[in-house]
């Protein structure tokens, strides 16, 4: 069996323009376990694409040798709309130019449609329920008639991922350490047992901050909706046996500029070890690396919002361990002549790992997110917030 490359065509939005994207299948269709991986939904986030560039030759090789037990779908650049957002020699991603919609919001929550079509038939047989739910979810996607290019992209991409056992959505931040956003349903017992796909992903990838969210965050991220399908149905039908049949994770692969062959090769090796450990590809995964940082709740994430305008200078690098009250950055008023008095210093509001920040010299404005810290303590001022500020 050898890999296949497919092209997905999107509908025309303006006369004379047409976009498409490529996806690849390794292993056999419908074989288990199924892994779905995509990169660059925010378009200008290429570390994941680089990791896949280094991973795919290993999968081609494994496929040729018949070592792939399951099915692996890879979409190296999932967003051709965002890829085309070139302005004045800059590539601008994250938001759709058409209406400023964040590309990683508004994915489709399939739980209501699945509940309506087969909810009454969900019983005590977990294996049968998983098969029924996957079939109904795919049918719900096939029944949709997306009105435009982006909506078509969402529907067609979710069709590729909806029946996966594992979904990895590869992103990066502006300037960041490797970090993961997980579902609480995949994590709680992981730390106690030091095992399971979620724990092993954090350990194999060398995550420096792993955060677990509500099982179904309101923001409808891609990784969110894939996990939430199972969480929502389990909550709605407590009498039925509904496992968390998809482990879905947002993998933040450091900084936008952290793209190199050396880093890509390391990330590919880490991903491949995890893939082997999950039994998707045959081989020896070796010893699990030590987890770098215990996972923390998303409600413990300190998000610093800029109180004023100015330009930024940071005191700390991503990955730094910080204490509550420690100075993280200055917002500097360029026209204030009094030196230190021109600086508004922003402090950490919790103890934890500073895992993401902006670049030195960036302009800042009121309300802008300046940095994020993963802390173990749930923060009063973060109650009810998903942490996924645009």
42 in Cβ contact with 222 (< 8 Å): no
Token pair belonging to 270: 């880490």
* Nearer to Zn ion among residue 45 and residue 208 (C-beta): 45
Q: How far is the CB of 45 from Zn ion (least distance, A)?
A: 5
Q: Where in 324-368 does DSSP place strands (E)?
A: 327-332, 343-347, 352-357, 363-364
Of 24 and 78, the one with the shorter C-beta distance to Zn ion is 78
* Residue 271 CB partners (closer than 8 Å, separation 6+): 51, 55, 204, 205
**CB 59, min distance to Zn ion, A:** 23
Extract the runs of DSSP E, i.e. beta strands, from 184-297: 209-213, 247-255, 296-297
Place of tokens 């919002």: 305
State in angstroms the smallest separation of the CB of 374 from Zn ion: 17
Chain residues that interact with Zn ion, rule: CB under 5 A: 42, 45, 171
Q: Which is nearer to Zn ion, 103 or 199 (CB)?
A: 103
Minimum distance from residue 255 beta carbon to Zn ion (Å): 12
Indicate the residue among 200 and 252 with the shorter CB distance to Zn ion: 252
**Three-class SS of residue 274?**
helix
Residue nearest to Zn ion (CB): 171
**Shortest distance, position 104 Cβ to Zn ion, whole Å:** 6
Kindly state the DSSP code that residue 317 receives in the 8-state scheme. Answer: -
Q: Which is nearer to Zn ion, 8 or 251 (CB)?
A: 251
Q: Please, which residue, 36 or 230, has the CB nearer to Zn ion?
A: 36
* Cα–Cα dist 187/295, whole Å: 8
Cβ neighbours, 10 Å, residue 253: 27
φ/ψ region of 319 (left if φ > 0, alpha if ψ in -120 to 50, else beta) reads left
Q: How far is the CB of 222 from Zn ion (least distance, A)?
A: 10
């Amino acid at each position: 069996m050898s890999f296949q490359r497919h092209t997905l065509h999107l509908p025309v939005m303006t006369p004379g323009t047409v976009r498409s994207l490529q996806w690849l299948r390794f292993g056999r269709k419908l074989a288990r376990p199924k892994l779905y991986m995509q990169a660059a939904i925010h378009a200008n986030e290429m570390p994941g694409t680089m990791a896949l560039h280094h991973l795919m030759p290993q999968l081609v090789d494994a496929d040729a040798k018949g070592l792939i037990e399951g099915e692996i779908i890879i979409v190296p650049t999932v967003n051709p709309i965002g890829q085309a957002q070139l302005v004045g020699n800059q590539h601008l991603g994250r938001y759709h130019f058409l209406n400023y919609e964040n590309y990683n919001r508004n994915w489709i929550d399939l739980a209501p449609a699945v509940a309506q079509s087969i909810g009454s038939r969900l019983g005590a047989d977990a294996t049968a329920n998983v098969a029924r739910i996957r079939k109904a979810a795919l049918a719900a996607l096939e029944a949709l008639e997306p009105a435009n290019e982006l909506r078509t992209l969402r529907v067609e991409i979710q069709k590729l991922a909806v029946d996966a056992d594992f979904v990895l959505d590869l992103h990066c931040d502006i300037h960041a350490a490797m970090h993961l956003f997980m579902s609480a349903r995949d994590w709680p017992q992981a730390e106690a047992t030091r095992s399971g796909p979620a724990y092993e992903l954090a350990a194999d990838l060398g995550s420096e901050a792993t955060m677990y969210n509500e099982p179904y965050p309101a923001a409808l991220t891609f990784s969110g909706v894939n996990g939430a399908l199972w969480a929502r149905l389990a909550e709605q039908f407590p009498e039925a046996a509904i496992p968390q049949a998809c482990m879905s994770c947002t993998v933040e692969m450091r900084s936008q500029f952290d793209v190199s062959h050396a880093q890509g090769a390391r990330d590919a090796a880490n991903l491949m070890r995890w893939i082997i450990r999950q039994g998707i590809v045959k081989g020896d995964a070796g010893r699990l690396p030590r987890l770098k940082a215990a996972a923390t709740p998303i409600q413990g994430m300190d998000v610093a919002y800029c109180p004023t305008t100015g330009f930024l200078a940071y005191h700390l690098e991503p990955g730094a361990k910080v204490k509550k009250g420690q100075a993280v950055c200055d917002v500097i008023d360029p026209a204030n002549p009094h030196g230190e008095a021109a600086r508004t210093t922003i402090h950490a509001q919790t103890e934890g790992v500073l895992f993401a920040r902006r670049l030195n010299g960036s302009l800042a404005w009121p309300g802008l997110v300046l940095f994020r810290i993963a802390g173990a303590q749930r923060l009063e001022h973060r109650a009810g917030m998903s942490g996924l500020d645009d």
